[in-house]
Amino acid sequence: MPSTEGVLAAVGRILRPIARILIRNGIPSDALTQLVRKTYVDVAAAEFQLDGKRQTVSRISVITGLHRKEVARLLGIETAGTDAVVAGRNRAATVLSAWLRDPEFLDRKGDPLELAFAGSNSFSELVRRYSGDMKPRALADELLSAGAIEQAGSRLRMTARGYVPSAADPDELLAMLGVDTAQLIETIDHNLRDPDKRFQRKVQYHGVPCDEAPEFRALSARLSQHLLEELDRWLAARLGDGKPTVTIGLGIFQIEQPDDEAPPAAQMRNQDHGPR
């Protein structure tokens, strides 16, 4: 069981970039405090029942440290979700993924074809096949804005083998913050509790010259993209067989910060150099 001090120190470090985002967007600390209290209550209500017993306001009050009246008030508040934003992101990523693996949209070398917008083997057909009722024009505009595709005469050409929302859509970028960060923390939480560990590794070195960073960015992006495309093909081939399902995947992200912002040497330990 980790110490209270250790847990709070880890959470405090997570909160620093979150506080930076909140302050930059003019969100006061009271709004975060309200959100933390609401989240405490929702998680306690949904995940910390006693076996065979209905969860009560009194028990939630005991395990969260909040007054019963505050618990009751927070249980009555609806929390705005990001389901629609996340769904849009997933559909764009799904279309690009299909473009990379469906033989009908690849050339003889296995590279994505340039596609006409409409007609047989077109971008519209790709969207219809892999994105349900999403309008092809809306999806094309989003992928063009994000720099994932470009106009090549009368055709559309893939320029990035993956989808990151455009900077013009900050809400979707922030949805990525919520979803992707939560998934990483949930993996760490699982590994703290369960002997059946999930994969969780990183490689990081301090003291690398700044002018080497661009080459590392390009190398890590190329190798990571290759791995993600291999995993994408493996997962896509196993969808829809009628068995019970699970959401499963792998996330990769780049680490980069000036060494004067890195943790003090006393906090680094040996694990901060090299893979772990």
In a domain, 28, yes or no: yes
Examine the fold and report which residue of 158, 193, 225 is the final residue of a domain before the chain moves on. Answer: 158
In a domain, 256, yes or no: yes
Question: What mean pLDDT is predicted for residues 253-267?
Answer: 69
Pick 53 or 78 by higher pLDDT: 53
Same domain, 100 and 140: yes
Residue 49 above 80 pLDDT? Answer: yes
Q: Convert the pLDDT of each residue in 213-236 to its tens digit.
A: 999 999 999 999 999 989 998 998
- Listed in sequence order, the DSSP H helices in the chain are 4-24, 29-47, 57-64, 68-75, 83-101, 123-130, 136-146, 170-193, 213-236, 265-268
Q: What secondary structure letter does DSSP report for 237?
A: T
In angstroms, the CA 139 to CA 156 distance is 12
Q: Convert the pLDDT of each residue in 101-113 to its tens digit.
A: 899 999 998 889 9
Q: What is the pLDDT of residue 231?
A: 93
Q: What is the pLDDT of residue 88?
A: 55
Examine the fold and report which residue of 35, 59, 79 is the final residue of a domain before the chain moves on. Answer: 79
Residue 7 above 60 pLDDT? Answer: yes
Q: Which domain holds residue 117?
A: 83-158
Closest to 272 measured CA to CA, from 208, 227, 212: 208
Q: Residue 191: which pLDDT band, with cuts at 50, 70 and 90?
A: very high
How many structural domains are present in the chain? 3
Whole-prediction pTM: 0.66
Neighbours of 166 (CB within 10 A): 17
